[in-house]
Chains A and B, each alone.
Chain A
Amino acid sequence: MTGVPVPYRVVARRPETADTVTLRLEPVGAALEDFAPGQFAMVHCFGRGEIPVSVSSVQATGGLAHTIRAVGAVSAGLCETQAGDVLGVRGPYGVGWEPERARGRDVVVVAGGIGLAPLRPLILRVLAEPVTYGRVNVLIGARTPADLMSRKEIERWPAAYTGVTVDRPDQEWRGDVGLVTTLLDRAEFTPTNTVAFVCGPEPMIRATARDLASRGVPRERIRVSLERNMRCATGHCGHCQLGPLLLCQAGPVVDWADAEHPLSVREL
C-alpha cells in the first residue's frame, strides 16, 4: 500500500465541451506537494474508484484543476460532481513535461482533443517566461469547434504562432480544417533547436512525432504523453507497462526516442 488520498473540495465546475468538465479543487486540509506540469494525480470518486488525471492547472495556493472527460464509470462520476463536493486526491505522480529542458530553445506544443488540458500548465509556464524560452508555438487539433477547449483563453496566449484546426467545421467556423500536423508548416521554429511537447490520441502522437523528427527535431527533444491502464501510480501494480517502460514511473511524459519503438509494436 502506498499513498492514501487527501480530501479536496470542488470549488468550481466548468463544462468545457459536451462530455468534458474542468474541476477546480482546493485542499480541505493540508495540500499535497506541488504538481509539475504534466504530472498526474489519482483522483478518487467516492464509492466508484480512482483514475489517473493530469493537472490542467496548478495554483500557488495548493489548488489544482483537472479536466476530465466522461468515458467510464469513475470519470463519469467525477464529471457529475458539483461545487462543494469532496474528492480524494493522491499524488503528484510521474514524470511531467519538464519545460526546463526547453530553456533557450524554440517550443512547439501540439495538442489533440482533450490533450490540450495536460499541456495547459506547460504552455502557461513557457509563455510566462519569454526571456527563458525561444519562440513558442501552440498547435491545436480538435474534432469540431464545439469540442475545442479553452477557446477564449487560447486567443489571448501571446505565442509566436497559435494554430487551431478541426476535423469537422460547423457553420460558424472560419478557421483551418485538417490534421494538426499541417499546422507545423506554419509554425515558427528552428527544428534543431526546438523542444516539442505532444499530447493527444496515440495515432496523432505517432504522426506528429514522426513529422517533427523528419523536420530535424531530435527524437530526445520530442516529449510525448502516453496513457495505459493505471491502478497504483507507484510502480507496483504492473498495469501501465509499455514494453520496458513503467509509465507511472518513467512517464506519462517520455521522450519520443524511448516511445517510438514500443509504440510501433502492436498490442505491446
Chain B
Amino acid sequence: MDNTCIITLQDVNKKFGDALIVDNLNLFIKKGEFVTFLGPSGCGKTTTLRMISGFEMPTSGKVFLYDKDITKIPPYKRPINTVFQRYALFPHLDVYNNVAFGLKLKKVPVECTKFIYNKEFFKKLFKFDFKNLPREKVTKYKHVSADVIDKKVARALKIVDLEDLEDRSIETLSGGQQQRVAIARAIVNEPEILLLDEPLGALDLKMRKEMQLELKEMHRKLGITFIYVTHDQEEALTMSDTIVVIKDGVVQQVGTPTQIYNEPKNAFVADFIGESNIYSATMIDKKKVRFLGWTWDCVDDFDVNENVDVVIRPEDIQLLGPRNTNLLGVIKSKIFKGVHYEYIVLVGKTEIQVRDTRDLKLDSHVSIKIEPQNIQIMKKEYNINAFYNAYINDKNKVVISGDEFDCDLTQLSPGSKVDEEGFLVVNKLRYNLADANVAAEIALSDIEISDDISLSGVKGVVINSIWKGDHYQVLLRSSGEEDYVLDTQYNWNVNDIVSIIIPKEKIKLRLKGDLSKYEENA
C-alpha cells in the first residue's frame, strides 16, 4: 500500500431539492485501501458513493481521481465499477454474458501495421516487391477478442467460486450466487476502484459472515481499492482498513477500526460502533471526572468544570464484591451470550451495561471499578441534544432517563402507521416496540420551556443561561438527572423550575438494531 490518494473529495456538497444530503465533505482515500463508509440509513453514505461512481454530480465541490478532476466525467468513462445493492444483474443474459458485459463493450488500443498508400507503394507493388511495401505502425482501438474475454470471465468466476455456472440463467441462481456474479461482473473489468453498496444486505447472517471474509480475501488478492458502504458496524469493523463514520452528511470520524472503537471522537461514534455506556459528565479537577454520582480518575485532560461526554465499553467495567471505596450497584438483569454474560447494573436510576465472563447472581450488590485509561472522554457537542440510552415504553412514549415524552414512532420505518392497539404496522407486519432501545435527538431550537409547570409532565431546573449574541442557550437538568440544552429568546434565571415541552414530531428516533426483531407474532 502506498500513500497516493486515489480518490479525493474536495468540499463536496450535495442537495436534493432543499435537503442537504452531503455537507461539505472532504475525504482522501488511499490507493489499495479497504475503506468503509459507515452510518445510519439516510446519512448520505450511498450518495457519496454515487458521486464517486458518477451517477450523481455534486451540487458544489470536486471529485478527483489521482490528480484528475473527474467531477463531470460520466460513469462509463471512469475506471470504477460498482457492485449494486440489489445486484442489478441483467436477467436477459446468462451468467457468462452478464460477466462479459463490460469486456464486450471495451475497446483496447492495439498496435498494428498499416500500408501507406503512396507512390512508392504502387511502384513496389508493380515490381512484386511485397516484402518492402511501405508500412507504418498505428494504434487502433479494437474490441477485446473472444478468447481473451473467455479467459477473463473464467478467471473472474473462479475468484468468486462459480466456475461451473457460466451457462445458467440469472433467475435460477440463489441470492448468494447472484451476489457473486455481481462481484465477478465488476472485477472482470479490472477497475482501479471497486465500489460496493451494501452488497451483503440481502443475504442471511451466515452467508453474510462468509462473504465478509471472502471479500476481504479478494481485496488482498486483487490489490485494488475497495470502497464499501454499510450501516452494519460489525461488518465495518471486520473488513475495513479505514472506516469513515458519517452522520447527516457530515464525517464524524475517519480512522482504523481500532481507533474508531477505542477512541471514538464523539458520543455518536461511540454509540454507533459497538455497545457502550455513554454519560454526561463534568470535569471537576485535573484528570478527574464526575459521572454516576462518583468521581473517577481519568487520563484525558480537559478544562475544569467543562461538561463532557464519557464512554465506557461494557467489557472495560469490572464488577467486584461490594466495598465502600467504590461505586455500588445492583445487578438487575443478566443474559448469557455464549462466551460472556451481559449484565445491567443499576446505580441509582442509571443503567450500566457490563460484560463479564463470570456467572454472578441476579439482584446481588456489586461495586464498580473502571481503569482510568478505559474512560474515554469526549468534548460535549452543544449543537444537538442526543440521548443514546433512551427507550420506548409500553405507552409508545420515548423515555429519556426516566422522563417520558410523546413521540412519533412512524418515523422508524417509512410508510408505517400505528394501529389502535399501539403496534407499529409496516406492510401488514406488526411490530411491538415496547422496551425497544432507541437513540433520540432533539435540535436545540425544538425544545420549549415554560414557567407554567402544569404544561408538561417533565420538569427541569435551569442550570445556566448563556447569551449567544442573538439568543440565550439554556442548560436544564431534568428530574431524571438528564441535561437538556436549548436555544431561546428569553433569559431564564438559574434555579428556575420549568416544564419541558418537546413537540412529538421534533424528536428524531433511531432504532438500535433491526426492526425485524420486534416483529409481533399474531
- Do A and B come from the same complex? no
